Structure 1
């Protein structure tokens, strides 16, 4: 019995020793094994497809829509009139004025709007000569009143056309006698041939304003009825719509007059096109700060509702590939030992280096042309690496 017990204890000791040895062996690792287990997993490549597309560089900024060409209208005093003058009627803000319309009245007399580059600076009448007479006759002819030969002489044809203009609007023209003209005529007019008006129908200087173009839109009324017409009376704009914007100084050199512009604002459902009409020659003008340059876009066609007064996105294309070309993300291109550009294309379980020539870059992509090897739309190229999944769960 004692002998059997001894044998059992010996066998148990052997088993325990064996198990202990096995556990210890499993727990012991060589330095190489420890280093291998501590090393990070191999990085996994990030692959993206080669895309065939049109690339275009562009400047994107914002601007505010408004009516164009704002200007203030005022009148020149007439030598034919004496006594106090007051504004007796004004147009409605937002109304449109065509060439030949009466924009306001002063002491009950009309003020006509006509197109012309030269401002009204003197009373005009029979016998007078000058480019301002030609300008008047051109305007009268445009609005349907025949002044006869369009020249620099105020003659009977000019008088007849002028009378017809006044009649259309229900006013009597000013008719002066020689005595009245002599009393009102400035002394210098006696010294210049063609500056002395004769008796007949006159156009007083304060009954016409010349503007570069029509129609006009009334945007503000700096004067009020009953006031003396001594300053700006009406603020007008053209009926054209423009968008005023600003760009950083470093981008200003990219913008050229005549450049096409996409105008949009998705939240308002606005989409339009235009062209750059003005680019300031330095920063800090038209309300810009010292780090921005002003530019203006003329809206083409009928502007969509909501443009006036709205903040709008302006996209100005600068250069374009024109046609679709192979493109890859900028991060896919690296420099080879020879200094040339290259990409890595996935081929089976490996990667092939493809030398390329790069072109236009925009929006994070660059055009590429393979110089050696194959590269096609849809091929996968390496743009970077991310840590791989750790082995062994």
Structure 2
């Protein structure tokens, strides 16, 4: 008990002492609250190289993220689209299977034109040309025509078979539709043929048909006669007359020759010999009379000339006669042609007035319509590629970063996100700082453990905004009004890639160099520079050993970086490394 009393006394005494040490008089408390004596706050002048940088905080990731969505159904039916094999993160090469939907493949091909429709026989456009180019790169040679033709169909079949799939063929419903359309064409043609036969067999037009047949036969006869007359120069009668005239000429020529011979003989008769003197002269014979013979010769020659003139005149008359006959035959042909045209018009008018004529006109339209519908359907009938079975990506190979669906999910707008194999850091800077940035500027990437790696500014503004972010804004309806107007996106690319794969997803700070001095310069804190009344910058330099005395030194300022500013004294030697300048205090 005594020990307990002693312990209590000790505790009470200790408490009293502690309280006593805390108690101060009002005067002591006021003295303690007095401010310290003011003094100058200075900083040394340092010679160093200044580099002005803009810091960007971001996360190291694979560059160019791009959302992947399917352009339509996979397979030949619009039934529920279920993922049967989800996209797998990793490298994507051209022609590889990105995923499966309802057991059908979704291929990845390189191209800038997005898949937007079913490619089927007859389809033409830039997307088909892009497909053909990709097939050639994959070794399934198809002519690059821009039209989904037979060679393209064969190449697509080989491509699918090589990957273990069958190219999409028309389903049962499509085949039934094709057969129904063909039957519709056949039915329309049969109905039209029956109506034509009924019209042709109509009794109301039989006389007109017979008249037309006769007119055509008359035309053929007239044309034959004209052709025969044109090929023959003389008629049989004219041929006989010509032969008679030629015989008359020959007879006249014979008569002239006979008369001339007789006259010559008469003129060349022998003269009697001269008698001797002792002989008694014979009585003289009278001279031969040739006048008759000369007259016969003259008459014969006149007859020959007349015969020849008659023969020549007959030739001229025969030509005129032939032309006259041809003209008459041509006229007959023209009349026969007019008769044929008249008969055709009469028959056509009769048929048009027939009730079957309207039915035949409607039948023709029905046949044309049925054929047009079948033709349009056949353009898309055959081996084809549904819109969801190809995903065109701008660049391949690429990297599938993450899948947005899993097996059993219904296919939505987005199935995966792909990136390039390059690394990038995306961040944002103040709009005022963004004005200092230029593509290609050098930067330094700093990790949390202090590692520093070189980088390059690749893009600023909308060009630096990830495509995935743009898609998200479209999906949520976010517009420009939702963006921070004072923030500008930037994209930076590491200059080296070794060892970066392990840092993907790590937060980093990138410092972009926007300016630097050529070498070491005199620098002071920005707060040390003041502007005098005349508008010139100056610094206050502490006088060594002078207590709080200072001297003003006029300077020219230069680059500012990290709170320091480059300064150059106006008067040489007015400021040197190691001097201390006032940054705060009563001067």
- 1:295 paired to 2:289: no
1:204-243 to structure 2, matched below 5 A, reads: 204-229=386-411, 231-243=413-425
Root-mean-square deviation (Å): 4.3
The TM-score, its normalising length taken from structure 2, stands at 0.48
**Aligned-partner Cα distance in 1 for 2:561–2:450:** 27
**Aligned-partner Cα distance in 2 for 1:176–1:385:** 86
**Aligned-partner Cα distance in 1 for 2:42–2:103:** 82
Work out which of the two has the higher radius of gyration on C-alpha atoms and give 1 or 2. Answer: 2
Partner SS state of residue 309, structure 1: coil
Alignment deviations for residues 321-368 of structure 1 (CA, whole Å, 9 cap, x no partner): 344433333355444564323446789989876533211222232222
Partner SS state of residue 267, structure 1: coil
What residue number does 2:147 align with? Answer: 153
Task: Looking at secondary structure, tell me which structure has more helix per residue.
Answer: 2
5+ residue gaps, structure 1, are: 1-39, 388-393
1:242-281 to structure 2, matched below 5 A, reads: 242-248=424-430, 251-255=433-437, 258-267=440-449, 269=451, 271-279=453-461
Partner SS state of residue 139, structure 1: helix
Partner SS state of residue 206, structure 1: helix
What residue number does 1:168 align with? Answer: 162
What residue number does 2:189 align with? Answer: none
Alignment deviations for residues 289-320 of structure 1 (CA, whole Å, 9 cap, x no partner): 85862524243342614432222112122333
What residue number does 2:55 align with? Answer: 60
Q: 1:90 to 1:258 in 2, by over 3 A?
A: same
Q: What is the deviation of 1:267?
A: 1.9
Is the 8 Å Cα contact of residues 113 and 127 (structure 2) preserved in structure 1? yes
Moved more, 120-129 or 220-229: 220-229
What residue number does 2:86 align with? Answer: 90
Partner SS state of residue 503, structure 2: coil
Q: 1:115 to 1:347 in 2, by over 3 A?
A: same
**Aligned-partner Cα distance in 1 for 2:176–2:508:** 56
What residue number does 2:522 align with? Answer: 326
Q: What is the deviation of 1:112?
A: 0.5
Q: What is the deviation of 1:200?
A: 5.5
Partner SS state of residue 449, structure 2: helix
Alignment deviations for residues 252-282 of structure 1 (CA, whole Å, 9 cap, x no partner): 544555544422114274635242434359x
**Aligned-partner Cα distance in 2 for 1:352–1:315:** 37
Give the paired residue count.
Answer: 336
Q: What is the deviation of 1:51?
A: 0.7
Is the 8 Å Cα contact of residues 255 and 279 (structure 1) preserved in structure 2? no
Q: 1:56 to 1:182 in 2, by over 3 A?
A: farther
Q: 1:43 to 1:293 in 2, by over 3 A?
A: closer
Q: What is the deviation of 1:384?
A: 5.6
Q: 1:143 to 1:52 in 2, by over 3 A?
A: same
Q: What is the deviation of 1:214?
A: 2.8
Match 1:366 to one of 541, 562, 565? 565
Alignment deviations for residues 206-235 of structure 1 (CA, whole Å, 9 cap, x no partner): 221112223343344433334444543334
**Aligned-partner Cα distance in 2 for 1:195–1:242:** 49
Match 1:101 to one of 76, 92, 96? 96
**Aligned-partner Cα distance in 2 for 1:154–1:70:** 28
1:109-124 to structure 2, matched below 5 A, reads: 109-124=104-119
Moved more, 106-115 or 80-89: 80-89
**Aligned-partner Cα distance in 1 for 2:138–2:544:** 79
**Aligned-partner Cα distance in 1 for 2:504–2:140:** 36
Task: Looking at secondary structure, tell me which structure has more strand per residue.
Answer: 1
The TM-score, its normalising length taken from structure 1, stands at 0.67
**Aligned-partner Cα distance in 2 for 1:381–1:169:** 77
**Aligned-partner Cα distance in 1 for 2:554–2:444:** 37
5+ residue gaps, structure 2, are: 1-35, 180-368, 464-469
Partner SS state of residue 133, structure 1: helix
**Aligned-partner Cα distance in 1 for 2:78–2:123:** 22
Moved more, 109-118 or 301-310: 301-310
Q: What is the deviation of 1:113?
A: 0.8
Partner SS state of residue 167, structure 1: helix
Is the 8 Å Cα contact of residues 354 and 370 (structure 1) preserved in structure 2? yes
1:4-153 to structure 2, matched below 5 A, reads: 46=42, 48-53=44-49, 55-68=50-63, 69-77=65-73, 80-81=76-77, 85-92=81-88, 94-148=89-143, 150-153=144-147
Q: What is the deviation of 1:167?
A: 3.4
1:346-385 to structure 2, matched below 5 A, reads: 354-374=553-573, 378=577, 380-383=579-582
